[in-house]
A and B are shown apart, each in its own frame.
Chain A
Amino acid sequence: MSGINKLFSQELKILNIGTSKFKDDLELQGQDVLQLDWEPAAGGDIKLLNIVDKLSSRKEIETANKEAVKRMINSHPILVDIDKAINVIPGMKENMILHSGPPIEWDMMAGPMQGAIIGALIYEKRAKNEDEARKIAASGEIEFAPCNEHNTVGPMAGIVSPSMPVHVIYNKTYGNYGYCTINEGLGKVLRYGAFNDEVIERLRWIEEEFAPTMKKALKNTQDGIDIKSIISQAIHMGDECHNRNKAATSLFFREIVSYVIDTDVDTSVIKRVLDFIKENEHYFLNLSMPSCKVATDAAHGIENSTIVTTMARNGVEFGIRVSGLGEKEWFTAPANMIKGLMFPGFKEDDASPDIGDSSITETMGIGGFSMGASPAIVQFVGGTIEDAIGYSESMYNITEGENTNYSIPNLNFRGSAIGIDIIKVIEKGILPIINTGMAHKVAGIGQVGAGLVNPPMECFKKAITEFDRKN
C-alpha cells in the first residue's frame, strides 16, 4: 500500500506552517493541528539559507563538530603557575602589548583600551606620563597583537605587557597552556583604562609581592589547583563565572589559602596577598577566562568544524574565530552597545561599545549561557529569573552539545549549552547571549554598568560565507 493510501485510512495530524487562518478552520473540523511559530530561517537571506542547507547535509562537518565539542568538554584546566608574560606567553616580545578582541591599530582603539595601554607603558617605564605614552604608542615602536592569538585572554581592555604576571593554566587533557593577568579588583583599574598612580602602584605590587608569593604557593601544591572542579561547583552555587564569581573566588580562596600560608614569605605579605584575593570577588574571573581559553584552543583547528572557538571584542569591533578556519582568521563587525542597568550617575551614552575577551566564557557555554544557574546575576544585568532561564534554554538551539561538567540546577542539572555552531546561528537567527560589564567610553573612569549584549550577526554571516567558499 502506498503512503498516500495509508494516509486515506488515518486520522489527519496536521502541522500548519504559515498563516494560522488555516489552522482555525481545521480546528473547526475537529482536527488535531499544531501551529508552528515559523520565521524564515537565516533571517530570510536565501543565499545564506542555501549555504546552511548545503553545509548541514555534510557528514564530515557533523563529525568534526562533535570532535571539537568533545575536546572542549574533555579539557581539564589546572592553575599551575604565575609568571611574567614575557617568560611564558608564546611569541611575547619586549616591545609587544597584547589587547582584547580582534586586531586593531592604536589610532582606531576605544578610549578604555588606549588608557590601559598608556598605563601599561608607564608601568613598563617606557613612558613617564600620558603624553609620552601616546607618542610612543603611535610611533609604531610598540607591536600590538590580540591576546587570543597568543593563547591569552584579557578582560575589558585586556592589556598585557611583558612584565605583567599572568596566571598559567595547563590543560591536563590536551597539554596546551593559557594565560591571563591578575584581576585588579573594581574601581579605578587598568582594564577599564585607568592609569593614575594608584593603578600603576597596584600593578607593581602585584608584580613584586603578590605574584612571587603565589608562585611559591602554587609550587607547594604539587599538582596545581583544579579550576574545572571549582567552576562546576561554583555554577551549583549561583555563579556563572563571567559576571558573578563570588562562589568561585571563595572556593579558590579555600583551595589556595594553606599553600600561601605554607610559603616562606613574611606573614604581613601573606596577609596582604590573601586579603587581596579575599576582597576581590572577581578574582576568579581571571582564572575562569584562561580555563575556557585552553578548552577552546584545544578545539581550534579541526578541519571541517564550524564551531566557534573565540568570541572577543576590542571596544570597536566584535570578532569571532571558527575551529575549521585559520588561526588568524577573524570575522568582525562593529561591536554592539550593551543593554542593561547603569550605575547611579551614569547614562547609556557614557558607555563604550562592547569590549573584552571575557566572552570566551560564553564560547565555552558558561557566562550568559549559564545565566539560568545564576539568579543573583539577573538583577545586576536587569531582567527576571524566567528571562535568565530562557536565555540558557534558547542557547541549546545554536550549540552542538551539552556540557554535563558544568550543569545547571534550575534546568534539572542539564549540561550547559556548549559549542556554538555558526551554521545553527545563521539558520535559527539566534545569537549567542553574553552578559558583561560596561566600561566608560572615556579612559580611566571605570565600570559604569552591566547588561546583556549579542555579537553582531554580520560576524557569523561572514564566517559561514568564507567557510562555504573554502570547503
Chain B
Amino acid sequence: MSSRVAWAARAWLSVVARTGSSTAHARTARSEPTVMRIVWSGEARLLVLALILLVIAVALPPLTVPRQTFDHIVVFDISQSMGVEDYELDGAPVSRLDFARHAVHEALRELPCGSRVGWGVFTEYRTLLLLAPIEVCENYGDLVASLDQIDGRMRWANASEVSKGVFWALRAAHEAGGTSSVLFFTDGQEAPPIDPANPPRRFDDVIPGETPGTIIGTGGDTPRRIPKIDEEGKRVGYWRAWEVLQRNGETAGGEAKPREHLSALREAHLRKLAQDVGLHYVRMTDVASVSKAMQDPRLAKRQWVSTNMQWLPALAALLLLVYRFSPWRIPVRGNPAVARLSRVRRLSLRPLAQ
C-alpha cells in the first residue's frame, strides 16, 4: 500500500521536475530526504493514514453483521365490537379497528429492514392468515395496500370468541413456519359470553410460550354501544340488549343489568388469556404504544444482515483530516522554532522558488 503511494508521489514529483515549474529545494546530497522519508515524516503521516483509510472504505465489501429484527403475524379482530369509536384521530372519532390499522401502518415504517410482517384477521372463532410474513422494506407498498383492505366487510360470520381466536392465531403461526411472533389486536369482547363454569380450553397443540407474542388491548374503559353493520358494510343503528346473547341471569327482566351489547376493553380477561398461552399484554393507547409493542426487545430476533460498513473507515479518515487541518492544534513536535514564533507572520506552505 505505502509503496504504491510512494510510487505515485515519486511519479508526480518527476512530472513537476520536468516541467520546471517548481523544484524541490536543492540541498546537499548528504541531507537529501528520500520520498519515503518525507511521506512518513510527522506532518504527512496523518495524510497517509487518511489515504489508507479512504482506500479501505472504497474497497470494503458489505459485511454481514447481526441486527435485531422482528417477524410478526399481526392479527386484527374484525368482529363488530371493533367498530366502536372510542379512539380519536386528527380530532375525529375513529373505530378501534381503524385506529389499530393506522397505528400499525405508522409503526411499520419504524421496523428495521430485514424484519418480516404478515396479516391475519379474526372473527367468529377463527383466525385466518391472509398474508404470510414478508420483508418490510422490500414490500412496504404491498404490505400497506394489503393492510388497507382489512375491514369489517371481510367478516365471514358474526360471533367473536376471542379466546379461540387467539389459540387459532398461535396455531397458524406454528403452521406458517413457527418463526413468527403473534400480535393480536382485540378488545376482548367475547360473543357469545363465556360461561364461567365452562371456559374455552386451550388447544392441546398450543403450548404456552412456544410462540411468543403480545395481545394488544384496544378500546376504552367506558362501555359503549356497538354499531350494527350489515353485510354490505353499512351502519344500521346499534346492537340492542335483546339482540345479543347475555350472560346467565342478566337478561332484560333479570335482576342484574344486561351489558353484553355494550363494549369496553376487557383488560382483566385479556391479561388472563395472555398469561394462559404465554403471551405478553399491552394496551393500545396511542400510535407510540403500538410501535413499542412491535419493537418489543422480547420479541426481537438476531439476524445476520448484509450491511455497508464503509462509513467506519471514512469517518476515521475524516477525523484525521480535521485534526490535520485544525487551527487549534498543538504545534508540531520537533520543530521548537514554531513554538517561539508568536508574532511572526505566517509563511505557510511556501515552496522555495530560487
Q: Do A and B come from one complex?
A: no
B residues sitting closer than 8 Å to A (CB atoms) are none
